[in-house]
Amino acid sequence: MIAYLTNLATLATIFGILAASLNLLIGYAGIFSIAHAVFFGLGAYAGAQLAMLLVPDLLLACLAGGLVAGALSLCLALPALRVRGEYFVAASLGLQMMAVTVFSEAHAFTGGHGGLVGIPLASLLGFDISAPPTFLVVCLVVLALVLVVIRVLMRGSFGRSLMAIRDSESAAEAFGKNVARLKTLAVVLGCAMAGVAGVLFAFYMAFVNVESFTLEQSILVMAMVIIGGTATLIGPLVGVLLLLLLPAGLSFLPFIPPTEIGSVQQLIYGLAMALLMIFRPAGLAGRSAGQR
Amino acid sequence: MADIPLSVRGLDKHFGGLAAVQNVDLDLRPGVTTALVGPNGAGKTTVFNLITGNIPADAGDVLLDGASVRGLQPYQIARRGVARSFQDLRLFGRMSVRDNVLAALEPAPWLWQPGGGGARRARAKAVETALERTGLTAQADARAMDLAYAERKFLSLARILATGARIWLLDEPASGLDPNSRARFVALVRQAVSEGVTICLIEHNLDIVTELADRIAFLDRGAKLAEGEPQEILGDPQLISIYFGEPR
Amino acid sequence: MLFLQLLLSGIQTGAIYALTAAGFALIFGATRIFHVAHGASFALAGYAFLACSQMGLPWFVGCLAALLLAVGFGLAMDAFIYRPIQRHEGSFFTVFVAAFGMTIVVQSLIELGFGRGFVVVDSPLTMARAIVPGLYLADIFWVAIGLAVALFVLVTLFLERTRAGIGLRALSENPELLRAYGLSSRRLSALAFGLGSALVVPGAVLTATTSGLQPAIAAQVMLISLAAAVVGGIGSLRGAALAGLLLGVVENLVIAFVDTQWSSAAGFVVLFAFILFRPSGLFGQAVAR
Amino acid sequence: MLQRRTFLLTTAAGLAAPAVLRAQGSPYVVGTLFPMSGPNAEYGMLFTNAVQLAFEHIKADGMLKRPIDLRAQDSLATPQGGAVGMQKLASVDGASYVMLGFTGVSKAAAPIGTRSKVMMVNGGGVGPDLAGLSPYFWNVIPLVNQEVKALLPWLRQKSLKRIALIYVDDPLGNSVLEQLRKGLPEAGGELADTYSVPPTAQQFAAVAAKVRSVNADAVYFASYGAQQSQIIKQLRDNGIKQQLLTYSAGSIPSVLSLPESEGLVYTSQAADWSSAQDPVTQRFVKDWRAKHNSDPSIYHQNYYNAMRLFALLAQELEKAGTPVNGENLLATLLKVRHFTFVGGEGTFQDNGTLELPMQINQIHDGRAQKIA
C-alpha cells in the first residue's frame, strides 16, 4: 500500500510540475496551448538520452530537458505571436499532432513506438536517488522550486505584464509592453518547466514512449489546470489530485464488473469534468465572477 | 518644429476601397488640449491608431519632438511618452485596480523590472497618487471587471496618469459619465494640462469639448475639414449639420 | 493513374470531412461555441444507424434514427452544458473541457452498449470496380459527392434565403441586427446546433459503411472538423467545407510523395502552415488581434 | 478540497485493507492489466473472457486448495496506465501473478513487477523487445518471427512471390518487416513494397491505391486492434483482390466476422479446434462454444493458457508446501519449463517466449480453418 501511494504521489508531483507550468501559459499569459505533452515528451526524451549516453545525473538531465524543451518551444511561440484564441488552440493542436508523428518516426532520438527502455537509475551529484521515497522527495523539491519561481515571477512585473497582455493585448502594448518578447519568454519558461517534469517522468518510469505524449495527455493536463482553477498557485495542484486520484479511487469501487471497469471509470471521469465546469466554471480554487 | 511634442503630417490610410484617413495634418502643443470632433466613422480613432503605431500608415508621417516614428512598434512609441485610452477601455479585467495601474508603468523588458528597490518604491508611490487623484483608493484591491462603469473610466485614466506620459490620447473618456463624475473628470484633465501635458481627445459630448478643448480639429470621412478655436468651429452651421448627421 | 486514383479517394474522404466540418463551422459561426463534442454527435449517429441495420430495419429508418439522435444530442449539449456554463464565467476553455468530458461520456456509453470492437455496416455500394483499367471507384463515391453537394446547396440556400438563416448569419456578425429582426438568440442557437448536428449524419452513415466505426471515432472526427474549420476561416461555412475537402485530398495525395506514415499528420501540417502564413484561413476575414 | 482528498485516500485504504489481509489469508491474488477502455479495449474484453473461462475451469476442477481472487486494472494501453495499474496490483492487491498485454504497458510495468517480484505473463503479440524484457516477464506465445517463418514455406508452395507489406511502425511491425526482408528471398520471393502506418490511422484507401499499383501477389499486414479490420475492409473495397496475409492478431472476432475477411490467411500457434485430440484443448473448445456461441481465437487460447499456467505453477508449489509468491512461481517455471496447454505441449525458451507448434489458418464463412 505504501509503495502504491508513493507511486501515486510521485506521479501526482510530476504532473503537478507539468500542470503548474501549463498554468503559466494558460492562466497567466492567456496562451491556450493543447500541445503541452509535446514539451513534456521532449524533456523526457532528452533526459533519457543524456542518462543513457552520458551520465544519469538528474541535475544535468533536468538542465538538458529544460533546454531542449525551451528551445523547441519557439515552434509554439511563433503561432502564439501571430494568432490568438481559437486559432492558437488549433495551431497548438496541429503542433501536437505533428509532434506525435515525429516522435514515432525519429527512431534515433525517441526509439519510435518501441520507446526508450532501460533508462538508468537516477543519481544526483553521485548519490543514488532512485529509491521510490527518495525520488518522491526529490520530485517534491523540484515542484516546490517551480512553484516558488512561478510565484515570485507572477507577483512581479513579469507576471503583471503577462496578465495585462492576457486581459488586453492592445492596451498592454499601449503601455509600453513588448508583447512579442514577453509572450515568447512565457512560452519558453513554461515549456522548459514541462521539460523538467518530463525528465523526472523518464527517470521514474525507466521507460518512455510516444504513448505518454499524445493529445490525450495534453488534454488531461489542460483539464487539470482548468478544473483546478487558472491563474492560481494551488489550482493546478488541486486539478492534478482530482484527475489522477479519481480514476485511482474509482478502481477501488468493488461493485463494477471487471469487464466494464474501464468504461464505467471513463464514464464517471467524463461526467465529473462536465459537471465541474457547469458548477465551478472558474475551477475549484478559482474565484467566480461577481465574487469580490 | 522641435518644440511641438507631436505633429502629424499628411497621414493617409485606406482600408480596401475605403479612405479612413486622408491627408490629415495635426499639431499638438504642450498645455493645449485639442479635440478631434466629427460624426461616427470620421476616422478619429484611426488617427489615434496611426499615431500609436497600431496600424501602419499608407502615407504621411508622425513626428515626436520632430523625429519620425515610422516603423516603430506601438510599445516603442508608448515608451517615448505617448499614453492612450480606448473607447472600450480595455482594462486588465482580471487584475486588481492597483495592479492595473502598476502594470501600466512597468514596461517589464525581461523577467523583471530593472531599477531595484528605490525605483519600485517610486512606482508604488506613483500608483497610490494616481489612485488618489482618480478616487479609486478604496477600490484598490477589487478586480477591474467588478468595478462600476464610472470607476472603470477613472481607472483607465489612472493608468495614463501614473505613467507620467507627456502626451495623452483620450478616446471618448467622458462618455456615459454622470454630471458629478464628469466634473471630476474635467478637473483632472485641467490639472494635467496645467502640469504641461499635451492632450488630444476624441469626444462626442460638445459640452465637454467646449469645457476642455483649446482647439478643435473637425474630421469627416477621414479628412480634416477645419481646425480652429472652439467657438469658431462650433459656430459653423455647416460643420454642425454634418456633425449631427444630416442625411448624407 | 496512381495520382488520379489518390485524388479521387481523397475527394471521397474530403466530401465526408467537408459536411462534418461545415456543421462545426455553422455552430461556431452562429454561437461562438467551440463545439468539441461535435465528434460525439458523429459517433452517436453512426452507431444509431448501425443498431438499426443490425435490427434489420431499412436504411432510411436507420438514417432517420441517426438524424434524431445527432440532433437531439446537439440540442441537449446546447441546453444542458453550454448554456449553463455561459451563464457564469464561461471562458472558452471551460466550454472546451466540459465538451471534452461529454465526449468521453458518449464514448464510454457506446463501449458499454456496443462493445469496443470495430464494426461496419455491410453495403454493396462500397465495393470498388474498375471504371477504366487501373482506376477503381465504388458507387459510394457518387453517393458521397452527391450528398455533399446537395446538402451544401440546401444549407446555403437556407442561410441566404430564409429569415431564420439570415438570423443565424447575423448572430455572429451583428447581434444587434437580431433584435431588429425580432429573432431570439436562444432559438437561433438551438437552430444552429440542430442544423449543425444534422450535417454529421451523412458523414456518419457513410463512414459506418466504408471505413467503419469504433467507440473512439469521436476524437478523430473532432480533430478533422476543427482543423477544417480553422483552415477554412473560422465561422465560414464555405471555407470549412472547402478545407474539409482539401484536407481529405491532401491526406490521400501526400502518399504519392512521402512515406505513408505521414498521411494523417499531413492534414495538421497544412493546418499549422495556414495558421502561420494565412491565419484568416481560406475565406475568413482578417483575424482581430 | 483537502477534505475530499483525505476522504479519497481513507476510502482507498479502507477498501484495500481487507484485500491485503485476504492475500495473507486464503485466496491467491491474480491480477489482469488490460486496456478496458479506449480504442484497444476490444482486446481487454477478449483477454478477460479467456481468463474468466480458465478461472471457472480451475475452480470446477479443484486444482488449487485455495480460491483465486481476480483483480482487474485498466491499463488504458498507455505506459502510464500500465505503471499505475501494475503498482496497484503489486503493492495494494498483493498480486503474485499478473497477466498483461501491449508493448508500452508491458515495458512500463516490467520494472515495477520485477522490483516487487511479481510474475508477469503476456499473451498478446511478441516483438523482439518483449522477449527477455525481465526475468519475471514471460510470454505464453511465440516470438512473431516464428510466425513469419512458419508462413514462408506456404507462400512458396502457393507460389506467392511478390509480397506487399503494410505494417505499424513499432518493434513488432519492424520485426515482421525484417523477417520478411530476410526470409522472402530465401523462399524464392521478394518484398514488392512496404508501407508503414501510424497505429492511429483509419483511412487506407490511399494505401490501397498504392498497393494496387505495385501489383503484388499477396499483401501482408501487421497491425492490431480496430485498425486490422479497417485495413482489410478498405483494401477489399478498393479493389485489392490478392491474397491477404497476417500474423495471429488476425484471429480476433471483429476480423472473423467481417465479410471482407473471407479467405484471409494468418499464422498462429497450433489451435486446431475441430480435430484436437487432447482433453485440455477439447474441453476449452467445447466450453467456449457453449458459453460464447463462437469459436475461440488465439488470444482466448493464450490468456486461457496464461491463467492455466498460474494454476499449474501454484499446484506444484502447493504440493511442495512452499508459499505461492512471484519468486517461487518463477523458480517453478524455470524448473518445469514444459507444460500441457490448450493447443498442445509448450516449452518455455530462455528468451522468455513459448515454443509451440505453428499452423496456418484461413478464414472461411466467418470461421477459421486450419489449412497447413
Distance from C-alpha of B78 to C-alpha of A174, rounded to nearest angstrom = 6
Chain C, 161-220: which have a CB under 8 Å from a chain D CB? 210-212, 214-217, 220
In this structure, are B171 and B247 located in the same domain?
Answer: yes
pLDDT-above-70 percentage for chain A: 96
Q: Supply the range of the domain harboring residue D194.
A: 144-271+359-370
Domain match, D192 and D315 both: no
Question: Using a CB-CB distance cutoff of 8 angstroms, which residues of chain C are in contact with residue A88?
Answer: 275
Give the pLDDT confidence score for residue C65 in this predicted structure. 95
Which of C111-125, D151-165, D289-303 has maximum average pLDDT? D151-165
pLDDT per residue as tens digits for the range D76-91 = 888 888 888 898 898 8
Is B176:B137 a contact under the CB 8 Å cutoff? no
Do residue B107 and residue A177 have CB atoms under 8 angstroms apart? yes
- Looking at chain D, which residue has its C-alpha nearest residue C104? D38
- Distance from the Cα of D94 to chain A's closest Cα (Å) equals 9
Residues 257-286 of A with CB under 8 A from B: none
- All 3 cell numbers of residue A248? 485511482
Indicate whether C93 belongs to any domain.
Answer: yes
Structural domain boundaries enclosing C135: 16-215
Q: Identify whether the C-beta of residue B153 lies closer than 8 Å to the C-beta of residue B176.
A: yes
Q: What is the rounded CA–CA span in Å between residue A200 and residue A122?
A: 9
Task: Please give the average per-residue pLDDT across A152-168, as a whole number.
Answer: 91
pLDDT at C239: 87
Same-domain pairing of D293 and D213: no
Q: Do D112 and D261 belong together in one domain?
A: no
pLDDT per position as a tens digit, A237-258 = 999 998 888 877 777 777 766 6
Residues of chain C neighbouring D228 (CB-CB closer than 8 A): 118
Interface test with D, best of C214, C249, C255, C268 (most D CBs within 10 A): C214
Residues of chain C with pLDDT under 50: 286-289
In a domain, C284, yes or no: no
Do the beta carbons of residue B60 and residue B23 sit within 8 Å? yes
User: Are residues B171 and B57 part of one domain?
Assistant: yes
As for how many domains chain C has, the answer is 1
Name the residue in chain C with its Cα closest to that of A32.
C93
User: Letter for the amino acid at D341?
Assistant: F
Which residue in this structure is represented by grid cell 501454484? D314
pLDDT in tens, D217-271: 999 999 887 788 889 998 998 888 899 999 988 888 888 888 889 999 999 887 7
Residue B86: inside a domain: no
Which of A209, A241, A252 lies closest to D16 in CB terms? A252
Find the residue in C nearest to D230 (Cα).
C211
Q: How confident is the model at residue A49 (pLDDT cuts 50, 70, 90)?
A: very high
Q: Which amino acid is at C6?
A: L
Name the 3-class secondary structure at B169. Answer: strand
By residue range, what is the domain housing residue B58? 1-81+165-248
CA-to-CA distance for B53 and A174, rounded, in angstroms? 9
Note whether D92 contacts A1, CB cutoff 8 Å. Answer: yes
Q: How far apart are CA B156 and CA B169, in angstroms?
A: 12
Residue C114 lies in a domain: yes
Among D46, D92, D130, D303, most A C-beta atoms within 10 A, so best to mutate, is D92
Query: Which DSSP string corresponds to A139-167?
Result: HHHHHHHHHHHHHHHHHSHHHHHHHHHHH
In a domain, B96, yes or no: yes
D205 and D319 together in one domain = no
Contact assignment for C287 to A278 by CB distance below 8 Å:
no
Residue C200 lies in a domain: yes
Are residues B108 and A292, on separate chains, in Cβ contact within 8 Å?
A: no
- Mean of pLDDT values over D107-111: 90
Contacts of C94 (CB under 8 A, 6+ apart): A226, A277, A281, A282, C85
> Which residue, of B117, B133, B164, is where some domain finishes?
B164
D206 and chain C in contact, CB less than 8 A: yes
Q: Give the closest residue to C271 by CA, choosing from C237, C238, C244.
A: C244
Q: What pTM, to 2 d.p., does this model score? A: 0.87
CATH number at residue D57: 3.40.50.2300
Quickly list DSSP for chain C: -HHHHHHHHHHHHHHHHHHHHHHHHHHHHHH----TTHHHHHHHHHHHHHHHHHTT--HHHHHHHHHHHHHHHHHHIIIIIIHHHHHTT--HHHHHHHHHHHHHHHHHHHHHHH-SS-B----GGG-EEEEETTEEEEHHHHHHHHHHHHHHHHHHHHHHHSHHHHHHHHHHH-HHHHHHHT--HHHHHHHHHHHHHHTHHHHHHHHHHTT-B-TTHHHHHHHHHHHHHHHH-TT-HHHHHHHHHHHHHHHHHGGGTS-GGGHHHHHHHHHHHHHHH-TTTTTPPPPP-
Which is nearest to D176 in space by CA: D201, D135, D144? D144
In this structure, are B169 and B246 located in the same domain? yes
C3 contacts chain A (CB < 8 A): no
The partner residue sitting opposite B111, judged by closest CB among A158, A172, A292, is A158
Mean pLDDT of A83-89: 80
CB of D210 within 8 Å of a chain C CB? The answer is: yes
Measured between beta carbons, the chain C residues lying within 8 angstroms of A274 are 81, 98-99, 101-102, 105
Confidence at residue A65, expressed as pLDDT on a 0 to 100 scale:
95
Residue A207 β-bridge partners: A117
Note the pLDDT of residue D39: 67
**Which residues lie closer than 8 Å to B28 by C-beta, 6 or more apart?**
B4, B5, B6, B7, B34, B167, B198, B199, B200
Q: Using the 8-state DSSP alphabet, how is residue A258 labeled? A: G
| Mean pLDDT to the nearest integer, D158-174 | 90
Q: Which residues of C touch A26 (CB under 8 A)?
A: 93
Per-residue pLDDT tens over the stretch D303-318:
999 999 999 999 999 9
Q: What is the CATH number of the domain that holds B50?
A: 3.40.50.300
Q: How far is D252 from chain A (nearest CA, A)?
A: 17
- The subunits that touch chain B, with at least 3 C-beta pairs less than 8 Å apart, are A
In sequence order, what are the beta bridge partners of B218?
B37, B226
How far apart, in whole angstroms, are the C-alpha atoms of residue C50 and residue C48?
5
Residue D21 is predicted with a pLDDT of 42
Q: Let me know if residue C142 belongs to a domain.
A: yes
Residues 243-282 in C contacting A (C-alpha not used; CB under 8 Å): 261-262, 264-265, 268-269, 271-272, 275-276, 279
CB nearest to A170's CB, from B54, B83, B112 = B54
Average pLDDT, chain D: 85
Sign of the C-alpha dihedral, residues A160, A162, A168, A170? positive
- CB neighbours of residue B181 within 10 Å: 18
Q: Do A281 and C88 touch (CB under 8 A)?
A: yes
Domain count, chain B: 2
Q: Which three cell numbers stand for residue D224?
A: 492490431
Query: Each residue of B21-43: pLDDT tens digit?
Result: 888 888 888 888 999 888 887 88
| Chain C residues closer than 8 Å to A273 by CB | 97-98, 100-101, 104
pLDDT number for residue A287:
63
Q: What's the total number of domains in chain D? A: 2
List the single residue in D38, D70, D79 with the smallest CB-CB distance to A205. D79
Does D contact B via 3+ CB–CB distances below 8 Å? Answer: no
Shared domain check, D96 and D66: yes
Confidence (pLDDT) at C183: 67
Residue at which a domain ends, from B164, B193, B215 = B164
- State yes or no: pLDDT of B245 exceeds 90: no
Return d(Cα A220, Cα C97) in angstroms, integer: 9
Residue in C95, C108, C234 to test binding to A, most A beta-carbons within 10 Å: C108
Residues of A in contact with D74 (CB under 8 A): 247, 251, 261-262, 265
Chain A neighbours (≥3 Cβ pairs under 8 A) are: B, C, D
Same domain, B30 and B153: no
If asked whether residues D93 and D234 sit together in one domain, one would say no
CB contact under 8 A, C116 and D203: no
Helices (H), D187-297: 205-214, 226-237, 253-256, 279-292
Q: What is the pLDDT of residue B92?
A: 92
* B202 and B243 assigned to the same domain: yes
Which position has the higher pLDDT, C285 or D145? D145
Query: Looking at the predicted structure, is the pLDDT value of residue B85 above 70?
Result: yes
Residue D16 has pLDDT above 60, yes or no: no
Mean pLDDT in residue range A127-140: 91
As a whole number of angstroms, the distance between CA A92 and CA D147 comes to 42
Q: Do B110 and A158 touch (CB under 8 A)?
A: yes
Query: A62-71, A144-153, A262-271: lowest mean pLDDT where?
Result: A262-271
Residues of D in contact with A212 (CB under 8 A): 78-80
Q: Considering chain D, what percentage of its residues have pLDDT values greater than 90?
A: 42
Average pLDDT, chain A: 88
Whether residues D129 and D6 share a domain: the answer is yes
Mutate to test the interface with C, among A25, A100, A277 (most CBs of C within 10 A): A277
Judged by CB atoms closer than 8 Å, whether chains meet at C212 and D230 is answered as yes
Is B108 close to A160, i.e. CB distance below 8 A? yes
CA angle B96, B102, B106 (to 5 degrees): 140
Which amino acid is residue D210, in one-letter code? Answer: K
What's the pLDDT band for A259 if we cut at 50, 70, 90? low
Could you give the percent of chain B with pLDDT greater than 70? 98
How confident is the model over B29-80, as pLDDT tens digits? 888 899 988 888 788 888 899 999 888 888 888 888 888 888 888 999 999 8
- Relative to beta strand D358-364, strand D367-370 is antiparallel
What CA–CA distance (Å, rounded) separates D223 from D234? 14
Query: What does the pLDDT look like over A37-47, one tens digit per residue?
Result: 999 999 999 99
C275–chain D nearest CA distance, Å: 24
At residue C283, the pLDDT reads: 67
pLDDT at A20: 96
Q: In whole angstroms, what is the distance from residue C166 CA to residue C147 CA?
A: 23
Q: Are residues B198 and B238 in the same domain?
A: yes
Q: Is residue C275 a part of any domain in this protein?
A: no
- Tell me, yes or no, if C118 comes closer than 8 A to chain A by beta carbon: no
Evaluated on CA atoms D91, D95, D96, D97, the torsion sign reads negative
Hey, are the CB atoms on A211 and D16 less than 8 Å from each other? no
**Are D101 and D243 within one domain?**
no
- pLDDT value at position A289? 45
Whether B66 and B172 share a structural domain: yes
Which chain D residue is nearest to residue C12, measuring alpha carbons? D205
Chain D residues inside the 8 Å CB shell of C104: none
Chain B residues within 8 angstroms (CB to CB) of chain A? 52, 54, 73-75, 78-79, 83-84, 86, 90-95, 99-100, 102-113, 142-146, 159, 163
Q: Do D169 and A101 touch (CB under 8 A)?
A: no
Same domain assignment for residues D264 and D249: yes
Q: Is B156 domain-assigned? A: yes
Count of CB atoms situated within 10 Å of the CB of D183: 17
pLDDT score at A290: 39
Cβ-based contacts of A2 with chain D (< 8 Å): 91
What region, left, alpha or beta, does residue A290 occupy, with left being phi > 0 and alpha being psi -120 to 50 degrees? left
Percent of chain A with pLDDT over 90: 46
Q: What's residue C174's pLDDT?
A: 64
Asked if residues A207 and B106 have their Cβ atoms less than 8 Å apart, the reply is: no
Put simply, the answer to whether A176 touches B84 (Cβ < 8 Å) is: no
* pLDDT mean over B71-93: 90
The residue assigned the cell 469521436 is C218
What pLDDT shows up at residue C90?
59
Q: Give the distance from residue B69's alpha carbon to the nearest chain A alpha carbon, in angstroms.
A: 14
Yes or no: say if B24 and B207 are a contact pair by the CB < 8 Å rule.
no
The residue that leads in pLDDT, D199 or D33, is D33
Chain A's closest residue to B113, CA to CA, is A157
Kindly indicate the confidence band of residue D24, based on its pLDDT and cuts at 50, 70 and 90.
Answer: very low
Which residues have a Cβ under 8 Å from the Cβ of B192 and sit 6 or more positions away?
A: B161, B168, B199
Domain match, D25 and D102 both: yes
Tell me the residue type at C69: L
Whether residues D201 and D296 fall in one domain: no
